[in-house]
Amino acid sequence: MISTDTTIAAIATARGQGSVAVIRMSGRDAWSIAKRIFSRKKNQFEAGRIYHGWIADDGDIIDEVLLLIFKNPNSYTGEDVVEIHCHGGDVISHKILNLCVKYGARIAMPGEFTMRAFLSGKMDLTQAESVMDLISSRSERLISQASANLKNRSLGQYIDEMSKGLLDLQAQIVASIDFPDEVDEPDRQAIAEKLDECLAGISRLKESAQRNRMIREGLKVAILGMPNSGKSSLFNALLARDRSIVTEQAGTTRDVITESFDIDGIPITLIDTAGIRETRHSIEMMGIQRSWQAASEAQIVLYLVDTSVGLLRYDTQILAKLDPQTTIVLGNKKDLLLAGHKKYANWIYVSVKTQEGMENVYAALQQKIRDFSHEDTGLTISLNQRQIQCCIDVEEQLKHAQEAIHSALPLDLVTLPMTEALRKLDELMGRDTTEEVLTSVFQQFCVGK
Ligand SMILES: Nc1nc2c(ncn2[C@@H]2O[C@H](COP(=O)(O)OP(=O)(O)OP(=O)(O)O)[C@@H](O)[C@H]2O)c(=O)[nH]1
Ligand SMILES: [Mg+2]
């Protein structure tokens, strides 16, 4: 059972040495426990104040601290909250935490502070999930979307509008069923149109979520090509550091190497691969298999051709196996370009060694990344798996309602799936949500948040 009767405490800062550590307490006894362990000349607290003093247990001084005092409902959790800012370091912060527990607090579970904020109506469930995104994501774009959702309740507002439309419609239908003499049956065509509108709204949300998936999950970009074409050189150039070994020997890279960086706030996993060629060498063969595997898992492939030797038949064979939509062909070693080499209009010519043309490689990558989110839906919302599943369920129910209306079934059979769709929209926002759902959402948080 989720209970908010107890006072919870946790270390809110990361473990290890730091200049400051924060111990946070929330709940009805937070102030009284703080008074018990905090000493200064006058032990009278006022909300919204910061106090300087010492944490001590029966006269034994533990640390010099700052105390921040919040009164419900004006706190993160909506409850009485005390934050103790002590010197950073695991020993001191744990001693203070133990003291909070000694005088009545219990150790908070992961995400319990945010769960209380949600339970006290400080935020809806999607906003709580945005807090999680803010802490855990390495995607700048997702972080800015999450901040926007925390500030403006963007997703909540979108869903509220849809719920309101559905509720109005349902009220009209129910009134006509309950009071057939007084309320006319609403026009079936009008109901169908309204349901269409709701379906379009939910599909738009789902589509936008799918397009924005890369904002959450990032994109994989694999570098492929024949041995010695300059793959590892490009890998290092894009990362701006010497990560992969570069030599003039063909067959230097034998395994896939992955590193992360970001382009326009999108997390990119860049993959350097073993050069693809025919070989009898068993280790090299395994490496080449992995190159193909990387290509199949990547959303974008950068294919390098060594223009100092020109396009070989084997290059053509490999290129034929790659999806032209997601492959960018780079003519590398532009500085050594063979005189009379045929120029391909859709290739990007670059010299990774002299950096000439690298800006065009960047631009092409940026464009391909944008291609993934083309047909902008105007919504800058990226949903997590739980939220997408709720949208899928709502969509299914709305389709049932539509079928019922089109097959001239009695109107109460239309309201059944509509009720279910409304319930799912509520679940998406965290209204009418089971304990199981809440636990699974907040379990993903860290302790102290
Ligand atoms: N002149 C010139 N040399 C380059 C350029 N790019 C790479 N090289 C050289 O080409 C050789 C092979 O480069 P790598 O980056 O190791 O090539 P690779 O494709 O990773 O090779 P494998 O790992 O063997 O498949 C090295 O000697 C690089 O310095 C370029 O633009 N111009
Ligand atoms: Mg290499």
Mean of the per-residue pLDDT values of the chain: 91
Residue 377 is predicted with a pLDDT of 54
Q: 145: CA distance to ligand 2 center in Å?
A: 37
Distance separating alpha carbons of residues 427 and 199, to the nearest angstrom:
17
Beta strands in 369-432 (DSSP E): none
CA distance 421 to 437: 17
pLDDT at 376 over 60: no
Distance 305 CA to ligand 1 centre (A): 11
Give residue 165's Cα distance to chain centre: 29
Q: Domains in the chain and their CATH numbers?
A: 8-124 (3.30.1360.120), 131-212+381-430 (1.20.120.430), 216-371 (3.40.50.300)
Q: What does each C-alpha distance from 311 to 9, 222, 289, 352 come to in angstroms? A: 65, 20, 22, 17
- Per-range mean pLDDT, top range of 64-68, 202-206, 279-283: 64-68
**Cα–Cα distance, 67 to 71 (Å, whole number):** 13
Task: Assess whether pLDDT exceeds 80 at residue 46.
Answer: yes
User: What pLDDT was estimated at residue 444?
Assistant: 83
> Exposed (0-12), middle (13-18) or buried (19+): which is 278, by Cβ within 10 Å?
exposed
Lowest average pLDDT, out of 275-284, 325-334, 391-400, goes to 275-284
Ligand nearest to the CA of 248: 1
State the Cα–Cα distance between residues 220 and 299, nearest whole angstrom: 6
CA of 256 to the centre of ligand 2 (A): 9
Of ligand 1's atoms, which has the minimum distance to the CA of residue 332? 31
- What's this model's pTM, rounded to 2 decimal places? 0.76
Q: 70-74, 213-217, 394-398, 411-415: lowest mean pLDDT where?
A: 213-217
The predicted pLDDT at position 98 comes to: 96
3-state secondary structure 87-144: ECCHHHHHHHHHHHHHCCCEECCCCHHHHHHHHCCCCCHHHHHHHHHHHHCCCHHHHH
- From 22-26, 83-87, 192-196, 431-435, the region with the lowest mean pLDDT: 431-435
Structure tokens at 101: 């527990």
Strand partners, 399: none
**Where does the pLDDT of residue 378 fall: very low under 50, low under 70, confident under 90, or very high at 90 and above?**
low
Closest ligand by atom to 249 CA: 1
- What does the alpha-carbon distance between residue 402 and residue 407 come to, in Å, rounded to a whole number? 9
Mutation probe of ligand 1 site: the residue of 246, 279, 288 with most atoms within 8 A of C-beta = 246
CA of residue 428 to ligand 2 center, whole Å: 47
Angle between helix axes 412-429 and 154-178 (nearest 10 degrees) is 160
Going from the Cα of 389 to the center of ligand 1, the distance in angstroms, rounded, reads 46
Mean pLDDT, range 299-308, rounded to an integer: 96
pLDDT score at 373:
62
**For residue range 185-208, what is the model confidence (pLDDT) as tens digits?**
888 899 999 999 999 999 988 888
pLDDT computed for residue 167 by the predictor: 93
Dihedral sign of CA atoms 245, 251, 254, 259 in order: positive
| pLDDT value at 217 more than 90 | no
Ligand 1 atom closest to Cα of residue 336: 1
Write out residues with Cβ below 6 Å of ligand 1.
225, 227-233, 246-248, 250-253, 274-275, 332-333, 335-336, 351-353
pLDDT at 1 over 60: no
Decide: residue 291, CB within 10 A, 0-12 exposed, 13-18 middle, 19+ buried. buried
Return the residue whose CA atom lies nearest to atom 13 of ligand 1. Answer: 230
pLDDT value of residue 130? 92
Q: What is the mean pLDDT of residues 308-312?
A: 92
Residues ≥6 apart with Cβ < 8 Å to 91: none
Q: What is the per-residue pLDDT for 374?
A: 54
Which one, of 164, 23, 179, lies nearest residue 91 by Cα? 23
With the most atoms of ligand 1 within 8 angstroms of its CB, the residue from 347, 353, 356 to mutate is 353
Candidates 246, 245, 272; CA nearest to 259 is 272
**Over the stretch 334-368, which tens digit does the pLDDT of each residue have?**
999 877 778 899 999 999 999 999 999 999 999 99
User: In angstroms, what is the span from residue 254 Cα to ligand 2's centroid?
Assistant: 8
Q: What is the residue with the minimal CA distance to atom 21 of ligand 1?
A: 228
- Shortest-distance Cα residue to atom 30 of ligand 1: 333
378 residue type, one letter: G
C-beta separation of 405 from 191 below 8 A = yes
* Residue that has been written with the tokens 């759902």 in this structure: 437
Segment 329-338 mean pLDDT: 93
pLDDT at 409: 85
In this prediction, residues 9-35 reach a mean pLDDT of 94
User: Hey, whose CA ends up nearest to atom 12 of ligand 1?
Assistant: 228
CB atoms within 10 A of CB 406: 12
